[in-house]
Amino acid sequence: MSSTPADIDLINGCIENDRKAQERLYKQFYVAMMSICMRYAPSEEDAIEILHNGFLKVFKNIHRFDPLKAGLYTWIRSIMVHSAIDFIRQNTKHSKQVEIDSVAAPYIDSEAVSKLNAQELLHLVRKLPPATQSVFNLYIIEGYTHKEIGIMMGISEGTSKWHLSEARRMMQKFLKPRQVVQ
């Protein structure tokens, strides 16, 4: 997705610290970026904090945006994901550091998942511990590799794999009562 001439005008306005341009950029990307932040945050208040920190980084670094490398949405999205990871790192105390090289993924019934709406799925993901939730989001939703996740989160590849396995195990446990009831 490349940047449009309107995006370039908006970016130039933000570089010049034009408050109206900054407000337009914020409003244009608020909903999409908030949904990303909600996936990583344990609460809506934390998601708002991540979002605001992310937009501060966007405005502070907007002069570095290169439309030849990525579209504006992609660039802002990347900043939001990194802001979420920073938030989790700052708020995760004494997280488990477990190493594994390979793991069999627990089976999650796709029929049970398909019966969930987006809100229910978000609720289940939010029940995961913060670091496990982040790895789940980065791997399953964002499409990063375990190596990339390890670098972003300051953990080993094996620890990233463990968190993904743990997320799948916990999601399976959360879904079990639903499979019996429905």
For the chain, the structural domain boundaries read: 5-91, 110-181
Question: Does the pLDDT value for residue 160 go beyond 50?
Answer: yes
Per-residue CA distances from 30 to 6, 57, 166, 168 (Å): 17, 14, 31, 30
Question: Does the pLDDT value for residue 108 go beyond 50?
Answer: no
Q: What is the pLDDT of residue 93?
A: 56
| Pairwise pLDDT comparison (105 vs 123), residue with the higher score | 123
**Tell me: the pLDDT tens digits for 136-156?**
989 988 889 999 999 988 899
Q: What is the pLDDT of residue 178?
A: 57
Name which CATH class applies to 5-91: mainly alpha
Per-residue CA distances from 148 to 20, 46, 70, 152, 156 (Å): 36, 24, 18, 6, 10
pLDDT band at 116 (very low <50, low <70, confident <90, very high): low
- Cα separation, 138 vs 96, in Å, equals 18
The average pLDDT across 92-99 equals: 51
CATH level 2 (architecture), domain 110-181? Orthogonal Bundle (1.10)
Question: Does the pLDDT value for residue 157 go beyond 70?
Answer: yes
**Tell me: the pLDDT tens digits for 46-89?**
999 999 999 999 999 999 999 888 899 999 999 999 999 999 88
Mean pLDDT in the chain? 83
- Cα separation, 60 vs 55, in Å, equals 8
